Structure 1
Amino acid sequence: MAQPKVFVSSTCYDLSQVRADLNDFISQIGYLPVLSEYSSFPIDPDNDTLENCLQNVQSCDIFILILGGRYGYITDSGKSITNTEYLYAKQNGIPVYVFIYKPLINILPVWKDNKNGNFNNVVDSVKVFEFLEEIREKNLKWCFEFEKAQDIVHTLRIQLSHLTKSNLDLRKKYRMLDTPNFYKHLSAKALDIILKKEQLWEPLFFAQVLKDELEKFEDLKLDLEYRITTSCNSAILNPEALSNWIQINFEIILNLIASLTNLVNNALQKYWGEPNQPSDLKGLYYVASSIARMYGEIAKWSIMVKSTKVHEDYKNLKEVLSDFPAVTLNQIWEYPDFASQEIKQGIQKYNSDPTQKVEIKATLVISANDESVEKFNEELNKIESAIYRNRA
């Protein structure tokens, strides 16, 4: 069985002894240390420095960030390699342990009150403070102080034992489950919600699955956002043919939106189950994956309409038609994050005072844009007038 990989991220020269001590500690406890200054650090000769670092971050199981007085080499993104590694680990859901040199924490309030001051005797760049502020106040990450390497070693010895215990508990719960076949399609985050079964875990599970499934169609979302069209497969140049084409495609999009509405108003309500009764997880997975599939179909429809060639006089109508479901698509895409945030805030509010009544509004609403409907009818009337004139 492969050893767990532990990636140590920091600037090297100022923290070389700390990194060496951590390398020894990680090896001693049976884990595989991943530090860039050692020959064991795997690289792809075709990749640059940052790409190799991020590749190793992605393959690691635990990420240790150590922030001292140096910010380090700044990449084209404007962030240092260490900063980028941290963001990449966070993005990939890797457990992150953050250690901050104690003098930095002590002087952070001084910098916040005087950001134009000279702090060259503490840091090589004020970006160190900005990075620290981002970690503590924006990302709300737990940070451990350290003054010497042994402080980090002592903390890691305890924290890694907690992590092992937590993973063993999850393993025990998972092995006790009679796992349905659809579990193999779930993300690690969705499975984690099932295993922990914390407060309001079923709606959180639904929101997570919907988010996971929607991400499969992110390329289509970006194509719509940047108005990327496919090759033109059809050209409709006379008013009568255009009118028929519009009616057919308008019926298609209405049917797709109706299917979405049925999923939300009927299927989802059925699989939620009655109050105080367990939800049907397989049903919730079906609804979430089906909503995402409908999202993909609607996005493809919009791109197809945008890509169709029409007479110059009716280009505006084509654009209005293709943008008709834009509000619906946006509602679906934003719902998982909105619902998760509302649910978690509701839980936090209730836990702070269990005597209060907490209302959580996390309903998925499917609606059309009234303005788009009005514009569509205006443009459609122009075509009907043109057809009437041609027949007269």
Structure 2
Amino acid sequence: MPIGYKPTVFVSSTCFDLGQVRSDIRDLIQTFGLEPILSEYDSFPVSPDTDTISNCLRNVREKADIFVLIIGGRYGFQTDSGKSITNLEYLEAKKKGVPIYVFVNTSIMNILPIWKNNPDADFSSHVENQKVFEFVESVSHFKSNWVYKFDSASEIKSALLQQIPYLFMDSLEARKKLKDNEINLPSDLYPPKAARLVIEKPDGWEHLLFAFLCKTYLNRLEPKKFDLEYGISFNDVVVIDEPQDVFDWITVRNNEMLKLIRLTTTLVNEAAMKSIGEPGEEGDYRKIQHVCQRLLEVYEQIINWKLSFTTLDVNEDFEPILEVLSGFANDPLTKIEQFVNRVYIEIPKALENIEHSDEHVTLDFTFVLESPDVDSFNRELENIGRLYF
């Protein structure tokens, strides 16, 4: 965290019926020396090239260090997903893993059990939209959320006055754990959410850490993916005139790809499982990070391998075989992306289901790559052989 950085508090609610409450909470946040983020103020960071929803979610994702959710009688504007912007902001904060404080109007909390028993009844005198009840119910299900009732802004302020100092104590305790256990968590390798998982070690932290780091490292390679999409490479052009030298180049590249495929399957099917640990055994955060880093380094190497074909200058007779060989990278790249996105979505979901139902969940993330199109490669190899040898 840069020197002079002020931690931020994102306040999410329906603005129209809770305007004064939001204003009072903003004043309180500033008294702590923290930076409030509220969408109705000019200080709210806005990108003019994106819509309101995207701006709100981006600010949660990029700016929010603490998230305060206030639920009143309104549900707010529904997006195409059927969820309100407030609901989406909450889900984004949950995904990010920041501390969340939830405040729900007392009358809504009191009538929630009645709604659960009679969901088809008319509750228009209490809420603008019955989705408010659904939202409160979903928020209450998360054991990590402490839900506070409130009738006035003063009650929210009182709760935050007591709770926010605990965060500072948590930070001091985390610092002590890092020092006592000699835990080294460089910020470039362990973003804040990853560091919290290592320090706090919630149930399933090893799997969550693996999924989060893989996704984080994959996202960092987005510019490289764009290079591949547009065929951009700044490497020098390689000119090969002699047919035998082209054959040698092809052989080397073929062997390189086979090695990268072997590395990928080994990292996912063997190294990842060992780093996470057998059931009942604690994983090693250093090994988990190492496997994630190496997996995405292999992914980057495969991109670079494919881009090497764009800077090769040879006789056009070799273009068919080069096209086939270049295609060997397609399946590994796709499968690695699919694997990373799958664990990032399914592991938290599975752990959440276990938390709510205590049911045993089995996930199979066995990684299988298809064999390269060797038959087409050999046919083109024979064609070239007849032309030159």
Smaller-chain TM-score bracket: 0.5 to 0.7
CA-to-partner distance for each residue in 1:25-64, whole Å, 9 max, x for gaps? Answer: 44566655444556xx525698589488668654453221
Q: Partners of 1:55 and 1:325 in 2: how far apart?
A: 31
Segment drifting more, 298-307 vs 379-388: 298-307
3-state SS of paired residue (2:290): helix
Q: Which deviates the most, 23-32 or 263-272?
A: 263-272
Partner SS for 1:7:
strand
Match of 1:333 among 313, 326, 340: 340
CA contact (8 A) 2:37 2:44 kept: no
User: CA separation in 1, counterparts of 2:84 and 2:388?
Assistant: 69
Between stretches 133-142 and 278-287, larger displacement belongs to 133-142
After superposition, the C-alpha distances for 1:104-123 in whole angstroms (9 at most, x for unaligned) are 56476599658xx9959842
Aligned to 1:16: 19
Deviation at 1:173, TM superposition (A): 1.6
Show the counterpart of 2:262. Answer: 258
Q: Distance in 2 between matches of 1:77 and 1:71?
A: 14
2:176 corresponds in structure 1 to: 172
2:157 corresponds to which residue? Answer: 153
CA 1:132–1:315 in 2, change beyond 3 Å: closer, same or farther? farther
**Within-5 A mapping of 1:184-223:** 185-198=189-202, 201=205, 205-220=209-224
Partner of 2:292: 288
The answer (yes or no) to whether the contact 2:38–2:44 under 8 Å persists in 1 is no
**C-alpha distance 219-32 of structure 1, shift in aligned 2 (>3 A):** closer
The whole-number CA distance in structure 2 between the counterparts of 1:318 and 1:25 is 62
Task: Tell me, yes or no, if the aligned pair for 1:239 and 1:383 is still in contact at 8 Å.
Answer: no
Match of 1:229 among 231, 242, 247: 231
When residues 64 and 296 of structure 1 are mapped into structure 2, their CA distance, relative to the original with a 3 A threshold, is: same
Cα deviation code 1:121-157 (max 9, x no counterpart): 842x677677667756799966444343344334434
User: Which secondary structure does the structure 1 equivalent of 2:336 belong to?
Assistant: helix
1:101 to 105, 119, 134: 105
Q: Secondary structure at the match of 1:325?
A: helix
Distance in 1 between residues matched to 2:158 and 2:304, nearest whole Å: 54
Aligned-pair CA distance for 1:265: 7.4
Counterpart of 1:64 in structure 2 is 68
User: For the residues of structure 2 that align with 1:390 and 1:139, how far apart are their CA atoms?
Assistant: 70
Whole-angstrom CA distance in 2 between matches of 1:81 and 1:343: 25
What is the match of residue 369 of structure 1? 370
Q: Offset of 1:293 from its aligned partner?
A: 1.0
* Shift in Å, 1:369: 0.9
Letter in 2 for 1:380: F
Aligned length: 375
CA gap of 1:231–1:30, structure 2 versus 1, over 3 A, is closer
Match of 1:300 among 300, 304, 322: 304
Identity of aligned residues (%): 32
The amino acid that maps onto 2:175 is R
Deviation at 1:218, TM superposition (A): 3.7
Q: SS at the partner of 1:42?
A: coil
SS in 1 for 2:221: helix
Contact 2:47-2:55 within 8 A present in 1 as well: no
Find the counterpart in structure 1 of residue 43 from structure 2: 42
Distance 1:72 1:249, change over 3 A: same
The Cα offsets for residues 3-32 of structure 1, whole Å up to 9 and x where unpaired, read as 654332223332123224434544566655
Compute the displacement of 1:381 (Å). 3.8
* TM superposition shift of 1:328: 4.6
Q: 1:68 to 1:239 in 2, by over 3 A?
A: farther
User: Residues 277-313 of structure 1: CA distance to partner in whole angstroms, max 9, x if unpaired?
Assistant: 9866545433332222112111332455588797786
> Which secondary structure state, in structure 1, belongs to the residue aligned with residue 101 of structure 2?
strand
- When residues 110 and 242 of structure 1 are mapped into structure 2, their CA distance, relative to the original with a 3 A threshold, is farther
CA distance in 1, matches of 2:353, 2:12: 36
Aligned-partner residue type, residue 328 of structure 2: L
Q: 1:317 to 1:47 in 2, by over 3 A?
A: closer
Q: Counterpart in 2 of 1:383?
A: 380
Taking structure 2 as the reference length, what is the TM-score of the superposition? 0.67
Secondary structure, counterpart of 1:185 in structure 2: coil
Q: CA deviation at 1:205?
A: 4.4
Asked if 1 retains the 8 angstrom alpha-carbon contact of 2:18 and 2:72, the reply is: yes
Quote the offset at 1:159 in angstroms. Answer: 3.8
Contact 1:182 1:282 (C-alpha < 8 Å) held by counterparts = no
Contact in 1 for aligned 2:306/2:326 (Cα 8 Å):
no
Shift of the 88–192 alpha-carbon distance from structure 1 to 2, 3 Å rule, reads closer
Distance 1:70 1:352, change over 3 A: closer
Greater mean alpha carbon deviation, residues 201-210 or residues 125-134? 125-134
Deviations 1:359-381 (A, max 9, x none): 97677x453214xx3xx133124
Provide the C-alpha distance between the structure 2 equivalents of 1:101 and 1:76, rounded to a whole number of angstroms: 26
